Amino acid sequence: MSRLADDPAVLQRIFDHIDRRSSDRADATWREPVENYRSEERFRAELEQVLRRAAVPLCPSAALVPAGAYVARSVAGIPLVAVRAKDGRARVFRNACRHRGMALVDDGAGTCERALVCPYHAWTYDFDGCLRGVPHEDGFPGLDRATRGLVPVAASEHHGLVFASAQGPDVDAGSIGALDGLLTRAHRVFNHSQREVAANWKVLAEGFLEGYHLRALHPDTFYPIQYDNLNLVDRLGGITRITFPYRRIEQQRERPPEARSSEGVLTHVYHVFPNAMVITFSTNVTVVVLEPIAVDRTRLVTWILTTRDLDAPEVRDTLARDLQFIDAGSAQDRHAAEAIQRGLASGANEFFEFGLYEGGIVHFHRTLQAVLGARA
C-alpha cells in the first residue's frame, strides 16, 4: 500500500462489512507468551532495544507555544525536555543540568520566560541548549561553557508532532506519512493529563487496536454509537490505522460515493509504533503516549487538541462534554488493563490468543518481535 485509502473507499469498505456482518481479518492468529508481560528481563529488552531507540511523539507541536514553552517527560526511563527555541525550532535535551545533574524542570508542561534555569544552583541555559550563565563562575576555573551545554537528542517536527529518540536516530519522515493532515497549525491544546495505570504498556496498547471488545466492555459508552467487532485495519510505513465506524455512518450511504465524508462518522486510531496513538474524534484529535515505568506500571500521557475557538464558552462546554464521555469509555479500558495484569498471576494462561479480528494487535506483536530479534 503506497497510501492509506481515502474517504469514499473507507466508507464503502465499512458499508460492505455492515451488509455482510463482517470485519477486516488478519492473515493469521498470534500467541503471545504471558511471561512477556511479567518478565523483568523482557521489559529491560523492550526499553533498551525498542523504546529508547525508536523515534516517537514526545508531544504535539501545539504544546510548545510560545518560545520558551516546554514539555518534560521520561522516554523509556530517560528524562527529556522539549522546548520551543527563539528561532521557532523545537529542541529536545536530556533533562539534567551539566553541573550536578538536577532536573531543570519537573515532569509536565510550562513556560520559561527567558531561559532554562536549574533550580539547584541557577546554572542557566538558552533554549538552544547553550550554557549562558554560571553564578560565581570564578569558582570553576577552566570551565568551558561551549562543551557544557545541555545534551541534545535526535528530534524533529512532522505533521504537528515533536518526535524524539532517547538513544537512536531521528524519525524517518517517510515512515509516518500517514499522519499528514491530522494536526495542523490551527490546532490548540484543550487539555493535557497524565495518570499511572497498574498494567504493562503492551496491555494498554492492545486495548486501542481492536473493536472485538466493544459490546462486552463498553455497553453504556462506546458500543451504543459504534458497531461491535467491525473494524478496518490498514498499514502504511510505521503506522497502523484502525477504523471504528459510528452507527450514524448510515447517513452517508445514500450520497454518491465521491461525495461521502468520514467527518463525524468514525474514529481513526493511528498507532505510531511502538507506544503512541493519534486518535480522531468529531471535535478533537487526541494524542496518547504510553510511557512504561515498570513491567507492571505505565504512565498514560494524553493531549486533547482542537481547531475550534477555545475562547468561546459554548465550544469549551462541548469539548468538556465530549472529553467526559471519552474518559468514561477510557476508564473501562484502564480497568480492563489492570484486571488483565492482575490475572497474569493466576497461572491460568501460558499465552494470550489473539484472533483474526485482532489484526492490529497481531501486527504490533509481529513488529515488536522482529525489532527485538534484529537487535538482540
Q: What are the tens digits of pLDDT across the range 281-336? A: 999 999 999 999 999 999 999 999 999 999 999 999 999 999 999 999 999 999 99
Q: How confident is the model at residue 137 (pLDDT cuts 50, 70, 90)?
A: very high
Q: How confident is the model at residue 1 (pLDDT cuts 50, 70, 90)?
A: low
- Predicted TM-score (pTM) of the model is 0.96
Nearest CA-CA partner of 200 in 7, 338, 98: 338
Residue pLDDT, tens place only, 242-266 = 999 999 999 999 999 999 999 999 9
Distance CA 162, CA 56 (A): 8
The answer on pLDDT for 140 being more than 80 is yes
Share of the chain above pLDDT 70, in %: 99
Residue pLDDT, tens place only, 60-90 = 999 999 999 999 999 999 999 999 999 999 9
Mean pLDDT rounded to a whole number for the chain: 96
The answer on pLDDT for 241 being more than 80 is yes
pLDDT at 3: 80
pLDDT at 53: 94
Q: Map out the domains of the chain with their CATH numbers.
A: 7-54+184-375 (3.90.380.10), 59-165 (2.102.10.10)
Residue pLDDT, tens place only, 335-371 = 999 999 999 999 999 999 999 999 999 999 999 999 9
Cβ neighbours for 105, distance < 8 A, ≥ 6 positions apart: 70, 72, 81, 95, 112, 116
Q: How confident is the model at residue 198 (pLDDT cuts 50, 70, 90)?
A: very high
